[in-house]
Amino acid sequence: MQKGRILCVVPIALTLLIALGCGKQPSTAIHPVKLKMFAPLPEGYPAQAAALTEEKINLGRMLYYEPRLSKSQKISCNSCHGLSTYGVDGEPTSNGHKGQKGDRNSPTVYNSAGHFVQFWDGRAANVEEQAKGPVLNPVEMAMPNDRQVITVLKSIPEYVDAFKKAFPEDRDPVTYDNMAKAIGAFERKLVTPARWDKFLKGDQAALTEEEKIGFNTFTTVGCQACHAGALLGGNLYQKLGLVKPYPDASDPGRAKVTKKDADRMLFKVPALRNIEKTGPYFHNGKVAALDQAVAHMAEYQLGKPLSETEVRSIIAFLKSLTGDIPVDYIKEPALPKSTSKTPKPDLTD
């Protein structure tokens, strides 16, 4: 590097350091290096193996809203992941078949295709694999087996036709795997760009002063150690109660999948996109308020309790992550009518 440039760079670096570290007032100046850990949302999360055709997405949308994929013919994916309510149902744990409660909170489906794995414990690799779970889960949609699902779908000519169009290369397109692939294709475009994305793309005015201060608080206390990237999470496992044991240790977390003691209380770090709208919080859904969730994180993950002002400041930033729901994309389609061959709803256990 030339001498002249060094002379020039040193004072700039010093000024930045002073601006970052020494000011007593909370700063609205955001250091560009801090932003490097974050990224704007993409327009979707393409599948590596298969193209997201319109036919596949349209079929996926129908299936997402389809209550006949449940034993009672009353519960669809949308019952627990309401698309007009940020992909959640607002319950600590959801009501499944005949009102049965599961033991974990329903996470949002928005942006979930961008997570490195699915579920709180990562037991499904991607949204296509995930979608095979709830339909056969006895406390969720409770279908007895995949054959029964196929019987329902094949009894409805409009579905048979839609599967043919979505999977033109398949000789027998109405399969359980293809059902999950279509739902996954639909989910891959459930994206919610927010003001935070505008800011990251260079629009300084997209965030308020309070939100910029909030971002600095978020990164100064260390939340970004786990909540970074485009989703501010969704890209690693971490122990809940990393620094101080978490009071509710009844759910083994990732250890439920791996059967390894070292994985006890390890959970996927959730994304913080739309977090203002997706309570109650944590895998057990036991924390109703966002300020309490943030305080828990500071106490159990970082070991440094925050002042009320700091919590409020972080929440101001978190609210800038609330994005736009894609209203046209999620519009509930008209579902085809049952025929005389369609099995009847079954309300037994």
Three-state secondary-structure class, residue 315: helix
Decide if residue 134 touches ligand HEC (CB under 6 A).
Answer: yes
150 binds ligand HEC (CB under 6 A): no
Closest by Cα among 338, 47, 41 to 186: 47
Is residue 140 exposed (0-12), middle (13-18) or buried (19+ Cβ within 10 Å)? buried
> Any idea which residue has 């859904």 for tokens?
285
Residue count at the site for ligand HEC (CB under 6 A)? 49
Asked if 346 contacts 71 with a C-beta cutoff of 8 angstroms, the reply is: yes
User: Binder to ligand HEC among 41, 59, 62, 80 (CB under 6 A)?
Assistant: 80
Q: Does 222 bind ligand HEC (CB under 6 A)?
A: yes
* Three-state secondary-structure class, residue 246: coil
**Token pair 């990732």: residue:** 254
Least distance in angstroms from the C-beta of 112 to ligand HEC = 4
- Residue placing its CB nearer to ligand HEC in the complex, 127 or 325: 127
Q: Does 317 bind ligand HEC (CB under 6 A)?
A: no
Q: Is 182 in the site for ligand HEC (CB under 6 A)?
A: no
- Measure the CA angle with vertex 46, ends 329 and 116; round to 5°: 110
Which 8-state DSSP code applies to residue 234? S
E runs forming strands in the chain: 237-239, 266-268
Q: Is 240 in the site for ligand HEC (CB under 6 A)?
A: yes
Nearer to ligand HEC, 16 or 224 (CB): 224
In the DSSP assignment, the letter for residue 268 is E
Residue whose structure tokens are 């209380």:
265
Q: Is 219 in the site for ligand HEC (CB under 6 A)?
A: no
Q: Rule CB under 6 A: choose which of 141, 162, 207, 213 binds ligand HEC.
A: 141
Least Å distance between CB 200 and ligand HEC?
Answer: 18
Answer yes or no whether residue 215 interacts with ligand HEC by CB under 6 A: no
Whole-number Å distance between alpha carbons of 231 and 244 = 26
Q: Does 112 bind ligand HEC (CB under 6 A)?
A: yes
Q: Which stretch binds ligand HEC (CB under 6 A): 13-21, 32-40, 46-54, 278-286?
A: 278-286
3-state helix, strand, coil in the chain (%, to 5): 45, 5, 50
CA 196/CA 41 separation, integer angstroms: 9
Contact flag: residue 255 with ligand HEC (CB under 6 A): no
Cβ contact 67:244 at 8 Å = no
Q: Minimum CB separation from ligand HEC for residue 14, in Å? A: 29
The active-site residue, picked from 66, 91, 129, 140, is 140
Under rule CB under 6 A, residue 275 binds ligand HEC:
yes
With CB under 6 A as the contact rule, the residue among 57, 59, 62, 77 that binds ligand HEC is 77
- For residue 345, whether the previous peptide bond is cis, meaning omega lies within 30 degrees of 0, is no
Of 168 and 345, the one with the shorter C-beta distance to ligand HEC is: 345
Give the separation between CA 47 and CA 50, rounded to whole angstroms: 6
Which position among 130, 274, 320, 322 is part of the footprint of ligand HEC (CB under 6 A)? Answer: 130
Per the annotation, the verdict on 310 as an active-site residue is no
Contact 233, 202 (CB under 8 A): no
Residue 194 or 294: the one with the smaller Cβ distance to ligand HEC is: 294
My answer on whether omega of the bond before 280 falls inside 30° of 0, hence cis, is: yes
Between residues 168 and 247, which has the closer beta carbon with respect to ligand HEC? 247
Contacting positions for ligand HEC (CB under 6 A):
75, 77, 79-81, 94, 96, 102, 104, 106-107, 109, 112, 115, 118-120, 127, 130-131, 134-135, 140-141, 183, 221-223, 225-227, 238, 240, 242, 267, 269-270, 275, 278, 281-283, 293-294, 297-298, 301-302, 314
Question: Which residues are catalytically annotated?
Answer: 140
